[in-house]
Structure formats: structure tokens, C-alpha cells
Amino acid sequence: RSQYGVQAMVPKRKEPFTKQMLISHVLGAPAGLDLGGGWSLDWSSRAGKSLAALTAVLAQTGFRKSEVSVPSQLDTLHYCLQRSHLHWVIQGVPVDRPTAAQLRQLRAGDFAVLTPPPSKSDPFDMVWGGNPIWLPFVFGEPLCAAIALADLLLAWPTDGAVDSAVFTHDDGKPFTGSQLDKALERMLLHAYPPATVRLYSWHSARIFLCTSLLEAGASRAQIQALCRWQTEDSIAVYGR
């Protein structure tokens, strides 16, 4: 209650995605689904492949929505993941701009490597900017970010546009946070009642990562580093 005796409206905390939910009801959302704002889901399009790669990347990295989108189309990409943040290690060799042949022949031991962009907890990229995130190629894994990123680049190469957003609409413009929120809501509403859908947001991927790491037996220090938190206190909030 507030100091005036009025019951405060506390929103329900978000729940973690489950792996099955991400595979079946996000990546498994049907083509043609209305995602709002005149956007219909087409997994073969640039927007569709971006959405698939974004889902896998969030599940494996715990990036915040603000790190893979912009608040509005008028905002800069300063806090948004750009193609200059994406690198590769293929057959043990660092590669900035892989060829189509290299991307098609990825195998165990190869990695997509993402350098974290600036964030609200690290606005000048001084804490985590020097700590790249290694995403391994895992054949047959539906949430493999390396495979999804390679699929996106094969369809839409960088062509030197390293300062463009990684995840975009068909016109090459970055997703806005509100567009991603509406898309997720529509995908989940296709499978769940509204009361259930309200328990989830893209931040549920960050909770999913923390919870999965706890389940896998990672140490608190490892989880803090992998989720890019300033202290371990967040683990008590995010871990389920």
C-alpha cells in the first residue's frame, strides 16, 4: 500500500519462456499470421528471417529488447545490435565477412560471435564491449543462433552495410520495440488465452537464459557474466 493507504497496482512478474514454447509457438507461428501494423508473418522474408534469428539470439544471449530494436524509427542505432557487432570463427579462423560458401558449410566447432552493444547498464560499452558472446553451431538445434544468423546473412548479405541493424523489416529498417511486442503478443495469442499471454514478453527470454543456466548447474559468477549483470543480486529476481 502507498503512504495514503491506496493499494498499489503491482504488475505480475514475467515468466520465463520454455524451450517448447519458443519452438512451437514463436518459431512455429503459422505463416500469414497478422502481427499488427500491416505486418503479416512470412518466415521466408527478410523480416521473418530476422524475427527467427532474433528469437534464437535472445534465447542464447539474454539480450534486452532495447539491444535488438529501436524505440522509434527516428532513433539512432547506438544501443541496437548492428552488423558490425557480428563476426564469425570458422574452422578456427576469425572471419568478419564470411562468404556464402562458408556460411553454408558451417559445422561443429564454428561460431557466430556477437559483441554486445551499449546498454542501459553499460551506456559506453566499457564493461561488456570487450567480452564477445560465442554462439556455437549446433546441428539440429532449433534455437541455434549461429544457424539462424547464417540463414539471415545468406538471404541478405551485408554488402558493406555493417552499420545497419541486424534484425530488420523487409525494407531494411530496424524493428521498433513496440512492433516486436505486438508481434510476440499475436504469436502467443494464437496458442494461449490472453491471461497467459500477459505473463510473457521478450524479456522472458532473458529469464529463460538465467533459469536454464541455474538448471545446468552454472555458478552464480558464471550466470552474472553471461547475463551481463553488474551484481549477482539479479539472479534471485530472474531465476525460477
pLDDT in tens, 113-160: 999 988 777 787 777 767 899 999 999 999 999 999 999 999 998 655
Say what percent of the chain tops pLDDT 90. 75
pLDDT at 9: 39
Name residue, grid cell 527470454.
205
Residue 105 Rama label (left phi>0; alpha psi -120 to 50; beta): alpha
8-45 pLDDT per residue, tens: 333 468 999 999 999 999 999 999 999 998 999 999 99
C-alpha to C-alpha distance for 101 and 154, rounded to whole angstroms: 9
Label residue 187 by pLDDT band (50, 70, 90): very high
Whether residue 6 is predicted with pLDDT greater than 70 in this model: the reply is: no
Q: Do 60 and 145 form a contact (C-beta atoms < 8 A)?
A: yes
Q: Count how many Cα atoms sit within 13 Å of the Cα of residue 90 in the half-sphere of its side chain.
A: 17
pLDDT greater than 50 at residue 4: no
Mind giving me the DSSP string for 160-210? Answer: T-TTSBSSB-TTSPBPBHHHHHHHHHHHHHTTS-HHHHTT--TTHHHHHHH
Among the listed residues 160, 155, 156, 116, the one whose alpha carbon sits nearest the alpha carbon of residue 135: 116
Q: Give me the pLDDT at residue 3, please.
A: 41
pLDDT tens-digit map of 71-117: 998 788 988 999 999 999 999 999 999 999 999 999 999 999 999 98
